Chain A
Amino acid sequence: MNDHKFFTKKILTENPVLVMTAGICPAVAVTESASSGLLLGCGTLLVLFLSSLPATLMKNIIPEKAVCASHMIIIAAFTAVIQMIFYSWFPQVTEEVGIFIPLIAVNCIVIESVNGFARNNPVLPTLFNGLGTGTGFLLVLILMGIIRESMGEGTLFGYSLFAGDMTLMPFAVLLPGGFFLLSLLAALNKHINRKTRQKEKNMTNNDREEEKISS
């Protein structure tokens, strides 16, 4: 079975934020601190994973016209649950993230993978796809949060990194800094993908030549 491929390819080659340009808004607006990036990433991963399960199980019951609306209701219900849990467990960070917790429900990533993938695919690939998409988003958010917080504020998860109030680059915590960093990450991802594709191409070409020689 190759179902785990749906998980691995979503992390680098089809990363939801860096390649598919979905969910740029939370990725830029929330990652001013690493902890809020981590919280929102976990929330999105949970909502995505939990709501793709009923969506794929009920795909034969829901009539074609009501698919979008019923998926929206499923996603909204899980987002509400996640918000309640986060408020009781991590009240301070949830307050910081603010309106982006409710906005998980209209996040392009969640909607595209629930509405586009779950309704046409069996259970196991859907679960792997949900997990992979969420993990790809979570990794981007944590990476951006760590870089932006350590450069802009001189702290990491609230602990100060340098002596005194030194900051390397206060620009990093502003909104343009977030866009800038996201663009650099997307370019890096594109570069890595191109290199790996070239390597694979070379490998297959070499194999073919060897086959020719041996035949």
Chain B
Amino acid sequence: MKEIIVVMMTMVLLDNIVLAKALGACPLIKLSASAGRSAAVGLAVTFAMIGASLLTWPIDRYWVSPFDLEYFRIFLFIPLIFLAGYLVTAVLKKAAPSYWESMGCTGHLISANCAVAGIAFINIDQGLTYFEAVYSALGAGLGFTGAMVIFAGMKYKIDNANNIPEAFRGIPAYIMALAILSMVFIGVSQAASAFIS
């Protein structure tokens, strides 16, 4: 139990997938709008991450690793990760159409997302057990959701500011905000890791 909590909190606070590893910065900038919508997208991405970890881990343990098929890993994993994202979007469309519409995004930003694929490969690289992998995916998803909700607030402020230089309006200002957020986050996580150890 303790290991699981440690793995999860590490993924949320120390190794935040967006702010400490820069995975999934594109959907963060493109999709975050209001705080509610960002949380919706973040939760969908979380489910896609859990699904991807659930699908890829057994394939790696029982097929790729025993037979030394490492060179085959990408070809097996990418369709599985895509399938996980596709299932999440299909279930969302059927089960909660209003929720899906409120997200207002095309499906491929969830199914083909660097963060979703990245967490599947990171879990395998770190040699986690099955439950640890699932909880690490859950933690990464929660970290992504948190970053997205924070960034939605920053984006609102930037959109309504009227003293930004002409060249920096729009995308450059968003990336600059992400830089400052990431700087703050790295500082906090360094302090937290010093406090824990």
Residues of B within 8 A of A179 (CB): 22, 175-176, 178-179, 182
Q: Interface digits, A16-52 against B, CB 8 Å rule (1 contact, 0 not)? A: 0011011111101100000000000000000000000
Q: B11 near A: Cβ within 8 Å?
A: no
Q: Interface digits, B47-77 against A, CB 8 Å rule (1 contact, 0 not)? A: 0000000000000000000000001111101
Q: Compute how far the CA of A26 lies from the CA of B109 in the bound complex, rounded to whole angstroms.
A: 16
Q: B96 near A: Cβ within 8 Å?
A: no
Q: Which of A22, A73, A76 has the most CB of B within 10 A?
A: A76
Q: Compute how far the CA of A179 lies from the CA of B176 in the bound complex, rounded to whole angstroms.
A: 7
Number of interface residues of B (CB under 8 A): 50
The answer to whether A194 and B166 touch across the interface, beta carbons within 8 angstroms, is yes
The answer to whether B79 and A84 touch across the interface, beta carbons within 8 angstroms, is no
The answer to whether B176 and A108 touch across the interface, beta carbons within 8 angstroms, is no
Residues of A within 8 A of B186 (CB): 174-176
**Interface size class for chain A?**
35 or more
Q: Which residue of B lies closest to A77 (CB)?
A: B75
Residues of A within 8 A of B26 (CB): 21-25, 108
The answer to whether B167 and A28 touch across the interface, beta carbons within 8 angstroms, is no
The answer to whether A176 and B118 touch across the interface, beta carbons within 8 angstroms, is no
Q: Compute how far the CA of A140 lies from the CA of B171 in the bound complex, rounded to whole angstroms.
A: 16
Residues of B within 8 A of A178 (CB): 22, 179
Q: B8 near A: Cβ within 8 Å?
A: no
Given the known interface contacts A179-B178, A186-B171, the answer about A84 and B22 at a Cβ–Cβ threshold of 8 Å is: no
Q: Which of A79, A175, A183 has a CB less than 8 Å from the CB of B175?
A: A183
Q: Compute how far the CA of A26 lies from the CA of B30 in the bound complex, rounded to whole angstroms.
A: 16
Q: Which of A99, A108, A187 has a CB less than 8 Å from the CB of B167?
A: A187
Q: Which of B71, B114, B186 has the most CB of A within 10 A?
A: B114
Residues of A within 8 A of B170 (CB): 190
The answer to whether A194 and B125 touch across the interface, beta carbons within 8 angstroms, is no
Q: A80 near B: Cβ within 8 Å?
A: yes
Least Cβ distance of B126 to chain A in Å? 11
Q: Compute how far the CA of A176 lies from the CA of B183 in the bound complex, rounded to whole angstroms.
A: 5
Residues of B within 8 A of A (CB): 19-26, 29-30, 71-75, 77-79, 81-82, 86, 108-109, 112-114, 116-118, 121-122, 125, 165-176, 178-180, 182-183, 186
- Pick 18 A–B contacts, CB within 8 A, sort by A: A18-B171, A68-B82, A69-B82, A75-B78, A80-B73, A80-B75, A84-B71, A102-B77, A106-B82, A106-B114, A175-B20, A175-B21, A178-B179, A179-B175, A179-B179, A190-B167, A190-B169, A190-B172
Residues of A within 8 A of B (CB): 18-19, 21-26, 28-29, 68-69, 72-73, 75-77, 79-80, 83-84, 98-99, 102-103, 105-108, 111, 115, 174-180, 182-184, 186-188, 190-191, 194
